[in-house]
Amino acid sequence: MKQLHPKITCIAFAVLATVFAQAQTNALASFREQNEKLQGTNTFACCAKDDKSPSVENEPTEALLKMAGNGNAKAQYEVGRRYQFGKGVATNAVEAIKWYRKAAEQGLAEAQFALGLFMLAYPDIGVEPNLSEAGKWISKAAEQYRKVAEQGNAEAQIKLADCLELTKLVGPKNDAAEAVKWYRKAAEQGNAEAQRRLAECYRKGQGVERDKTEAVKWYQKAAEQGDAEAQLELAICYYFGKVVERNYLEVVKWCRMAADQGLEEAQCLLGICYENGYGVKKDDFEAVNYYRKAADQGQVVAQAYLGDCYYFGKGIEENKHKAVEWYRKAVDNRGNFDALGFIGSEMVGFELSGHVLRLGDCYKNGVGVAKDESEAVKLYRKVAEVGLTFLSEERGARRLEAMYRLADCYENGLGVEKSFMEATKWRCKAWFVKHLKLAVISITIITVVVGFVLWAIMMEWLGFIKLHRKAKGGDADAMMNVARYCSRQLFFLRKKASTWYHKAVEQYRKAAEQGDDEAQIKLGDCYRYGIGVEKNDDEATKWFRLAASQGNERATEKMKEMDSKD
């Protein structure tokens, strides 16, 4: 089987316990993206059955503001949308909310949904999340969409499902299963968007049991109807051999369809196919062409790979300045510096840490940009501090390189204050990363051993505590065992051993004087071996004889031992 180029190693990961917060963020991002795509669509179509008012979407902003001021709900919604996305006016979150609220209070479902979503998904533009307020407006929108959805309107069914999916983010109720029901109703009517959304539910296991085969089936249906996002997801399935057998011809076919519709992620993946000759004749010029189309739309992976083309002169004249420009854009677009770029579904990642390192080298050496060692250190540090190394061999190697570069910078005072301690710290971290598997195994073994030792010590102490209680209750055997335990210990416990020996002897003496043959033997042993009393063979023989006179065979044997000793 043909191996994937290392450059495009897929990273599939799941976020553990951090995981709920991340899942919520992903869901919000998904709805935010869908909301933004409404800019060029007829958003009133699903609820406009009995609405005879003219469309306002193409009205000039000045006229639209006048209509909105006169109370036109659709105009108010459209003004809110323009303020939200900066369409014809400067972006203004406060104004967007104000106009959305005016339209929502008049009962416009689209405005109610937009207002609820705005309160959830846009904290980065100064809107404080408000779950109760968001839940209120999303519920109101759902009520209106349900009325139209129950009449069989596919668009309303999708929007109702969107509202139901959001309920898990605004309260304890989770209507994901009902959302799937409405996506299915719309999908079975042949609605391509609903088919894609249903496929996503099957892929993620949201509201339905996870089933990748079923997901591919619905992606195929949507893709065949021209849904660009479904075409991309189907191409990704063929690219990585998910459920379906890997087939680069199918990848190129579906990618080209989506790319021709302007989907930047598809353009990027098609560029990768041309660069590596996957399903198409290798053509660096075409690769650059598609990378540029995607990069111009802000696609991070495409920006990084276009930077590569300029840096190495692949498909275009070598230009280090341009390379740095595109690397910089890619790095800046990855605001959290997780060194991953995504194409399609959130489960498909492309390693970009090598590009961040290369950009750092450019700053360090003044290649394609003014020399700036401090900026180089920042970039090296970002890669060095990226987590999840064990999930990607390539990421681990890049992180290791970054650590060594940081150590060199601290050792030579490049971009930072010279520090032998910091240099040593990063070299030690690099050693740990390099020997990560050995370190993990060693730590595991040490943890198991230490855990076993602690467990054994704990069990011994529990036994001692039990014995101690019995000894304090007057049990002579327990006293003797406590004394023996204390004699084997260090420090303060050893000092207590003689006290417990004496106490045990006194208890044996009391029982022996009352005629207990076993106590007589034990007291005899104490005198014989000098335990708790001064060693005295005559006293030992005396107590053994008394026990033997009661028919105790062990005492008789001990008498014989004493006689043979004499």
**CATH architecture of structural domain 226-346:** Alpha Horseshoe (1.25)
Q: How is the beta sheet containing 340-342 ordered, strand by strand?
A: 10-11, 349-351, 340-342
Which amino acid does the sequence have at 537?
D
Mean residue pLDDT of the chain comes to: 82
Q: Give per-residue pLDDT as tens, 371-404.
A: 999 999 999 998 888 755 444 566 678 888 999 9
Question: Does pLDDT of 14 surpass 80?
Answer: no
Question: Does pLDDT of 165 surpass 90?
Answer: no
Find how far residue 178's CA is from the centre of its chain: 27
Establish whether domains 25-174 and 352-434 are of one fold.
yes
Query: Residue 316's pLDDT is what?
Result: 95
Q: Taking the domains of the chain in order of start, what are their residue ranges? A: 25-174, 189-224, 226-346, 352-434, 439-565
Question: Does pLDDT of 312 surpass 60?
Answer: yes
Which amino acid does the sequence have at 477?
D
| 144 vs 168, more confident | 144
Distance CA 489, CA 412 (A): 54
Distance CA 466, CA 460 (A): 10
What's the pLDDT band for 168 if we cut at 50, 70, 90?
low
Q: Which of 388, 372, 332, 331 is CA-nearest to residue 354?
A: 331
Q: Give per-residue pLDDT as tens, 420-450.
A: 999 999 999 888 878 777 777 888 899 999 9
In CATH, 439-565 is 1.25.40? yes
Find how far residue 31's CA is from the centre of its chain: 20
What's the pLDDT band for 93 if we cut at 50, 70, 90?
confident
The answer to whether 142 and 161 are in contact (CB under 8 A) is: no
> To which CATH superfamily is domain 352-434 assigned?
Tetratricopeptide repeat domain (1.25.40.10)
Positive or negative torsion for Cα 497, 498, 500, 504: positive
Positive or negative torsion for Cα 59, 62, 66, 71: positive
Residue 73 structure tokens: 């709900």
- Number of helices followed by number of strands (H, E) in the chain: 26, 3
Distance CA 357, CA 365 (A): 12
Strands annotated E in 254-411: 340-342, 349-351
Query: Residue 349's pLDDT is what?
Result: 56
Lowest model confidence (mean pLDDT) among 38-47, 145-154, 287-296, 402-411: 38-47
Q: Which CATH class is domain 25-174?
A: mainly alpha
Query: Residue 345's pLDDT is what?
Result: 56
Burial call 147-159: b when 16+ CB within 10 Å, e when fewer? ebbeeebbbbbbb
Task: Please state the rounded mean pLDDT for residues 543-553.
Answer: 89
Q: What is the pTM of this model?
A: 0.67
Distance CA 402, CA 380 (A): 5
Instruction: State the DSSP H helix or E strand holding residue 11, giving kind and residue range, or none if neither.
Output: strand 10-11
What's the pLDDT band for 490 if we cut at 50, 70, 90?
low
Distance CA 266, CA 60 (A): 33
